[in-house]
Amino acid sequence: MNITERRNILITCGPGLKDFLIKEVEDLEYPIVDSHSGGVVTKGSFVDCMQLSMHLRTAYNVLYLMKEFRCGSDTALYKQVNSLAWENIIDSSGYFTVVSQVDTWSIDNSMYPNLKVKDAIVDRIQRKTGSRPDSGSERNKTVVNLFWKNDKAWIYLNMSGLKLSDRNYRKIPHKAPLRESLAAGILLATGYDGSQDLVLPMCGSGTLAIEAAMIAMNKPPALLRSNFGFTHLKCFDESIWKDIRIKAKKQGQMKQLPHSIIATDLDKEAIIAAKQNAKTAGVDHLIQFSVCDFSRTPLPDASSIILMNPEYGLRLGDLDDLELHYKRIGDYLKQKCSGHTGYVFTGNMELAKKIGLKTSQKYPFYNGNIDCRLLKYELYSGTKKS
């Protein structure tokens, strides 16, 4: 495979993250060819896929287009996939998995196209090399993605393999942690870029604090990862990847930040986990952690972003207690945080009403399949109760 060939690259993301992903892709100076709720299409080479995998904070997967074709039957699917030179891409002693999203009248068993693609690849490699790779459902080696909608199909090589949101720093997840890509998206929605102080009461396992530190330092998010889909491909060039990593490592080497990141939690165990995770991520020296009730979190004098992710009852916490908790959050924002901008990320809008303050903006997100909102509160002195 010619690794310099420019092709369409589909970058997938979680619901609600598309606009932040577009901004990230543009900031990295890649064109936006198309976008939809599940992702963004850009153009670039195999090497660009490596770059994107290293630098994107809000993406799930970077997918390099292999073939796009009309497909009206499983036989056509097999034929088209079998026509690709897989023997130059997947080692005959390697392992791969096929992931598919199928929405076509031609097929009613959604697992069947997976099997067809797998057979087409294995048969091709067997025919050309005399041996065959293994296949299964593990996504930690080569991953091939099929999208089949109506009479059109697309085959992609999945450059990330495992989701890019798995950064590898969260060794201790503690309770109800946010997915890293979602935490990055929430921070980008607040406009956080490191040029202001950030206060994170209820920081839990520290995901928001760690992602914030990485944004503030401009530290590439995938530096801790060594396993990507592309590292398993035959055309993977170790020296190119090494160069990308060396450049990425030089980026974001800050001993201190110009503005503080303050992260607190009532639970001592959460802070132990957060400190350890931050250490693994190499950003523990940039975050001021402490154990306290959120209302006692030290606030900077300068106007800062105060961002809270309280429990919202669907996974943790008792609803009655939480009503009181949300009321206390509202009182705290009103009484102690004037002059700052408050944000609450929650999946329970009934509980959010208990905050009792007027939101100036609501950003839609999903946490897993839970419909969530990031609520923004402008906290002038004398903020009106709603």
Ligand X SMILES: C[S@@+](CC[C@H](N)C(=O)[O-])C[C@H]1O[C@@H](n2cnc3c(N)ncnc32)[C@H](O)[C@@H]1O
Is there binding between residue 208 and ligand X (CB under 6 A)? yes
Piece in contact with ligand X (CB under 6 A), picked from 83-91, 96-104, 199-207, 243-251: 199-207
Residue 160 as a binder of ligand X (CB under 6 A): the answer is no
CA distance 64 to 157: 5
Q: How far is it, in rounded angstroms, from Cα 167 to Cα 178?
A: 12
Q: Are 16 and 366 in contact (CB under 8 A)?
A: yes
> What φ, ψ does residue 245 adopt, rounded to 5°?
-65, -40
Query: Nearest-5° angle of CA 27, CA 376, CA 196?
Result: 55
Name the residue nearer to ligand X (CB basis): 9 or 182: 182
Sign of CA dihedral 57, 60, 62, 68: negative
- Closest distance to ligand X from the beta carbon of 174 (Å): 6
Contact between 78 and ligand X per CB under 6 A: no
Candidates 11-19, 128-136, 200-208, 223-231: pick the segment binding ligand X (CB under 6 A): 200-208
Select 172 or 244, whichever has its Cβ closest to ligand X. 172
**x/- track of binding to ligand X for residues 268-287 (CB under 6 A):** --x-----------------
Using rule CB under 6 A, residue 52 touches ligand X: no
Q: What share of the chain is helix, strand, coil (3-state, %, to 5)?
A: 35, 25, 40
Cα 311 to Cα 279: distance, rounded to the nearest angstrom: 25
294 near ligand X (CB under 6 A):
yes
Residue appearing with tokens 């060396």: 246
Among 16, 39, 113, 204, binds ligand X (CB under 6 A): 204
Could you give phi then psi for residue 41, rounded to 5 degrees?
-105, 130
Could you tell me the two tokens for 73? Answer: 């039957």
* Burial label, 295 (beta-carbon count in 10 A; 0-12, 13-18, 19+): middle
Of the pair 264, 304, the CB lying nearest ligand X is at 264
Q: From the CB of 159, what's the least distance to ligand X, in Å?
A: 26
Structure tokens at 264: 């607190």
Q: Please tell me whether residue 235 adopts helix, strand or coil conformation.
A: coil
178 in contact with ligand X (CB under 6 A): yes
- From the list 18-26, 105-113, 114-122, 169-177, the region that binds ligand X by CB under 6 A is 169-177
- 176 counts as binding ligand X under rule CB under 6 A: yes
Residue 201 contacts ligand X per CB under 6 A: yes
Contact with ligand X (CB under 6 A) among 24, 48, 211, 265: 265
Measure the CA–CA gap between 206 and 297, rounded to whole angstroms: 15
Task: Convert residues 296-315 into a mask of x (bound to ligand X by CB under 6 A) and - (unbound).
Answer: -------------xxx----
- How near is the Cβ of 176 to ligand X at its closest, in Å? 4
**Which residues sit at the interface with ligand X, rule CB under 6 A?**
174-178, 201-202, 204-205, 207-208, 265-267, 270, 293-294, 309-311
